[in-house]
């Protein structure tokens, strides 16, 4: 990662110490209103593909993949959006208890996740369905969790993708601890691309104000842990706007902790890929942690339990619709003759099939045996849990007894 990402204010250089790359501390805006937090993201924003679908150069970051990869990213984003809209509909039909939509954040998630290597370990929050997609997590494993059938039915160790974390920001500490562990295992800075490993953790603008996140920043910084903090600033923490989390642009937070930060256009899949790739590489090489702020927008509700019309203006959403992460890639591919009509037709067919699989698979899930949950809390049971299990089993059976009595009457 470039330590000298462009900034508008006066800067003070922190001299490099052993193992820690030089970074810049920007002082402008510290005591004023948040700089660059307006809807455009400010001059610091790294962008490689404009909302109109035009490629841009950046002095520090280059997108180094071919058009085939861009078609692949587009496919990822279309299919992820389809999973998301299907899951939202399933919740509305009473098939899921709740759903947290990623609508609008597809580029941030696909770009960053595609920049990881198989050996990198990812800690998600609860909205990272695009990242899960890139880690080959079956979408039905997500809907089963949001249906209440299980608590996350994949093996994190097998796919290097941790279970979703609902406790805001807690996963940044897990990630930091894991990163310190792989450091001790000698999996950082060896020069072997198959061995060197980084950790990536996803969290939000609201989470950035949590104590856990700030502690994770400190630990990762002083231990030079190989972790990339991927902050999706979707502008809202439920009904709290991001201005209420920070007086300065969030990516600048890291400078106070002694590691670099960069703000990337979170609706630009090319830039998200390029910036994250550089940050991950730095971590794997032993260059320590970094903060990537993906400046994006949550186009849907916080979750299906939320009604955003109660706290934000429709005009804001309309503004962000012009920056839709999918539309700009489609414009780029079409304008440059990199796809034909068959490409879109085939993708639509694939999305329809996927949606049907998510729908029918979710509806067909067997009822969970909730009494089993008590066996899964600890490796071995405790008297308290056994008592709770006995109580629950009796309580559950009482419904059956009542129903039988009703039939007999
Ligand atoms: C420790 C903790 N405090 C509060 C909550 C309730 N809560 C759930 S989501 C959320 C907002 C998180 O906002 P942000 O970090 O911006 O993530 P986003 O939902 O926008 O992706 C809060 C406060 C929680 N889950 N955990
Ligand atoms: Mg948020």
The string of pLDDT tens digits covering residues 228-286 is: 999 999 999 999 999 999 999 999 999 999 999 999 999 999 999 999 999 999 999 99
Candidate list 55, 151, 311, 396, residue with the active-site label: 311
Question: Do residues 262 and 5 touch, judged by C-beta distance below 8 A?
Answer: yes
DSSP state of 11: E
C-alpha pair distances (Å), 269 with each of 8, 221, 319, 323, 328: 25, 28, 19, 12, 9
What is the reported pLDDT for 261?
98
Q: pLDDT grade, residue 37 (50/70/90)? A: very low
- pLDDT at position 332: 98
Residue 43: its pLDDT value, please? 86
Collect all residues with Cβ–Cβ distance below 8 Å to 373 and sequence separation of at least 6.
Answer: 151
Q: How far is the CA of 183 from the centre of ligand 2 (A)?
A: 30
Of 201, 202, 206, the one to substitute when testing ligand 1's pocket (max ligand atoms within 8 A of C-beta) is 206
The reply to whether 162 belongs to the active site is no
Q: What is the pLDDT of residue 62?
A: 97
Question: Ligand 1: which residues within 6 Å by Cβ?
Answer: 127, 166-168, 204-207, 234, 236-238, 298, 302
Residue 41, pLDDT score:
86
pLDDT in tens, 159-214: 999 999 999 999 999 999 999 999 999 999 999 999 999 999 999 999 999 999 99
Q: What is the pLDDT of residue 39?
A: 65
- pLDDT band, residue 21 (cuts 50/70/90): very low
pLDDT band at 408 (very low <50, low <70, confident <90, very high): confident
Yes or no: say if 253 and 231 are a contact pair by the CB < 8 Å rule: no
Active site residue 302: yes
Percentage with pLDDT > 90 across the chain: 82
Amino acid 252: pLDDT: 97
Asked if 225 and 197 count as a contact pair (C-beta separation under 8 A), the reply is no
Q: Across the strands, what pairs with 127?
A: none
Tokens coding 381: 């049971």
Q: How far apart are CA 340 and CA 331, in angstroms?
A: 12
Is 396 tagged catalytic? no
Which one, of 11, 19, 22, lies nearest residue 224 by Cα?
19
Instruction: Match 């929050």 to its residue by tokens.
Output: 125
What is the number of residues in the chain?
A: 409
Query: Roughly how many angstroms between the first and final C-alpha of the chain, as a whole number?
Result: 74
pLDDT at 11: 36
Q: How many CB atoms lie within 10 A of CB 354?
A: 17
Q: Which residue in the list 82, 135, 263, 302 is annotated as catalytic?
A: 302
**Over the chain, what is the mean pLDDT?**
91
Question: b or e along 379-394 (b: 16 or more beta carbons within 10 Å of the residue's beta carbon)?
Answer: eeeeeebeeebeeeee
Distance CA 75, CA 77 (A): 5
Q: DSSP H helical segments within 98-195, as ranges?
A: 106-114, 129-134, 139-147, 156-159, 170-184
Domains in the chain and their CATH numbers?
A: 11-363 (3.40.50.970), 374-408 (no CATH)
CA of 360 to the centre of ligand 1 (A): 30
> For 84-92, what is the mean pLDDT?
98
199 vs 284: CA distance, rounded Å: 9
Provide the pLDDT confidence category of residue 2 given band limits of 50, 70 and 90: very low
Residue for token pair 């059956």: 400
Q: What is the Rg, in whole angstroms, of the alpha carbon atoms belonging to the chain?
A: 23
């Amino acid at each position: 990662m470039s330590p000298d990402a462009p900034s508008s204010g006066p800067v003070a250089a922190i001299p490099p110490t052993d193992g820690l790359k030089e970074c810049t501390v920007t002082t402008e805006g510290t005591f004023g209103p948040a700089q660059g937090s307006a809807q455009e993201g400010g001059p610091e924003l790294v962008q490689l593909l404009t909302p109109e679908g035009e490629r841009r150069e950046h002095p520090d970051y280059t997108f180094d993949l071919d058009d085939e990869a861009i078609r692949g990213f587009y496919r990822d984003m279309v299919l992820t959006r389809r999973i998301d809209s299907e899951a939202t509909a399933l919740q509305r039909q009473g098939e899921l208890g709740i759903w947290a939509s990623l609508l609008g954040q597809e580029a941030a998630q696909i770009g960053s996740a595609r920049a990881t290597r198989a050996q990198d370990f990812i800690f998600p929050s609860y909205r990272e369905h695009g990242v899960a997609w890139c880690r080959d997590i079956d979408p039905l494993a997500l809907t089963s969790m949001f249906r209440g059938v299980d608590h996350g039915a994949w093996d994190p160790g097998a796919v290097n993708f941790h279970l979703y974390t609902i406790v805001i920001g807690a996963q940044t500490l897990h990630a930091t601890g894991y990163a310190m562990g792989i450091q001790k295992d000698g999996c950082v800075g060896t020069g072997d691309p198959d061995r060197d490993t980084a950790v990536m953790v996803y969290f939000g603008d609201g989470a950035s104000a949590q104590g856990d996140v700030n502690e994770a920043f400190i630990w990762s910084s002083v231990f030079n842990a190989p972790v990339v903090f991927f902050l999706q600033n979707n502008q809202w923490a439920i009904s709290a706007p991001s201005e209420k989390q920070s007086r300065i642009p969030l990516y600048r937070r890291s400078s106070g902790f002694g590691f670099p930060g960069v703000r990337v256009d979170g609706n630009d899949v090319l830039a998200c890929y390029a910036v994250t790739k550089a940050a991950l590489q730095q971590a794997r090489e032993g260059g320590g942690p970094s903060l990537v702020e993906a400046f994006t927008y949550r186009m849907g509700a916080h979750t299906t339990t939320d009604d955003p019309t109660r706290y934000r203006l429709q005009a804001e959403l309309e503004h962000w619709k012009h920056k839709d992460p999918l539309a700009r890639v489609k414009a780029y591919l079409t304008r440059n003759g990199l796809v034909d009509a068959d490409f879109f037709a085939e993708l639509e067919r694939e999305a329809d099939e996927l949606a049907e699989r998510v729908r029918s698979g979710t509806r067909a899930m067997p009822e969970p045996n909730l009494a089993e949950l008590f066996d899964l809390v600890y490796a071995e049971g405790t008297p308290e849990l056994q008592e709770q299990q006995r109580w629950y089993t009796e309580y559950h059976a009482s419904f059956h007894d009542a129903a039988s009595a009703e039939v007999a009457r």
